[in-house]
A and B are shown apart, each in its own frame.
Chain A
Amino acid sequence: MVSTTEIFEVLTTIPDPEMPISITDLGLIEEIVLNDTNVLIKLLPTFIGCFALPAIASDIKQKVVELQGIDSVEIEFVHDPPWSTDRITDNGRISLAEHGISVPDGSSPCCSTGTTDTVELTTSAFTCPWCNSIDTTLTSPFGPTRCKSIHFCNACRQPFERMKKV
């Protein structure tokens, strides 16, 4: 009989298709519901319009169904609680930094505050993941994936990406 812990272990080996970390380090897994030989895995999409979601779902199905004692794998994308950058693990943060991707810390902004200043894009000083300088500028709030913005470090003259704070 397979356990949810064993299923989670398998999920830790699945990389995000667009990010140099696993889907578990990215904080996508919300719940694993095991019902005898059938498992339902609830995932939180980073952004609703993320192109990688079908690929992630198919990777999970392929890997988890190989476990002995599992007959069927179902994937459900849920929005409650909303995914936020706070869900990225420490391991994930280290790996992202090594790849030149900066990650916001602190609590997520909430859209119910009544202002539109919930996004940190308006402030310019983000730490460069390459040299730790805060002399950086925002190049574009829209980057190669839905969850990242593009920045430039004036100190080491390198571009870098940053996970958007949602």
Chain B
Amino acid sequence: MTELEKQFQSPMVNLLLSIADDKLFLGHRNSDWTGIAPILEADIAFSSLAQDDIAHASAIYQLIHTLTGEDPDQIAFGRTENEYRCADIVTKNDEFNWAFAIARQFYCNTFDFVRLQRLSASSWVPLSSLAKRLCAEQAIHVDHVHSWIKHLGKGNEDSNARIQNALDTFAPYAAMLFEKPVGIDILHEAEILTDHSAFFVSWKNSIEPTIDTAGLTLNIQQDELQGGRSGKHDEDFTQSLCELQEVFSTDPLAAW
């Protein structure tokens, strides 16, 4: 471990956990759609998105392992509820409503893409090189879900109303994606993170053109509430975590 990594280990781990936990739980939720998505291509797509998200999470847990020496499986599955750093939009129950699933995916995937772009400029090379790699794959996710938003928005009155309702329902949770991971300011001050531009604005600029084309409106306000990124989770998260840990907790020391 380098001096830099030693000095900034705590805020770095916290930032990495927020990214990996978002991806792990989103992948977990998306895999619920395997076998029951409305059309075959969407089914394959959601399963593929889930596979990517969980693999991305795994690569980031691996990076945390290089900092702390902790076993990546243990990091992924072995923490208590308040040690997870995801924003709770990723575990919100979508009630198997396709519009909800797409709206959540739209907010989260675009958020993740913009976040990875910012991390690609990090002066900490292990992070920037991984972020660049993930970003190239994330672009495919973004492209896919943006085309779904246009598809539903421009479909007919019914599909337009449903996706608008879903976007509005998930908007307050999307705003919570922007809760700052604890210690991220330290990384900015130390120039480990070099992109200081306004995150919320970049994200909004990335989603607005699609919203406009789709004939929809974006009703979202940035908020400063403390939530998942500080380990304060809601009931849907608790339930998701129970499902996620169900197998692991039967024998935490088993070899995978």
Contact = CB atoms under 8 A, between A and B. Distances in A.
Interface of A: 47-51, 79-80, 82, 84, 108-109, 111-112, 114, 116-119, 121-122, 139-143, 146, 164, 166
Interface of B: 41, 44-45, 47-49, 51-52, 54-56, 59, 110, 113, 116-117, 120-121, 125, 129-130, 132-140, 142-144, 146-147, 206
B143 A142 contact: no
A124 to B, nearest CB: 12
B40 to A, nearest CB: 8
B117 A141 contact: no
Q: Is the interface of B mostly helix, strand, loop or mixed?
A: helix
Contacts of B47: 142
A164 B51 contact: no
Given A79-B130, A116-B146, A146 B51 contact: yes
Contacts of B55: 47-50
B51 A49 contact: yes
Contact of A121 (B52, B120, B125, B143): B143
A116 B44 contact: no
A141 B54 contact: no
A166 B45 contact: no
Contact of B133 (A50, A79, A117): A79
Which 3 pairs, one residue from A and one from B, show the smallest C-beta to C-beta distance?
Answer: A49-B55, A111-B135, A80-B129
Contact of B139 (A47, A82, A118, A142): A118
Contacts of A50: 55
A111 B132 contact: yes
A140 B49 CA distance: 13
Contacts of A164: 140
B129 A141 contact: no
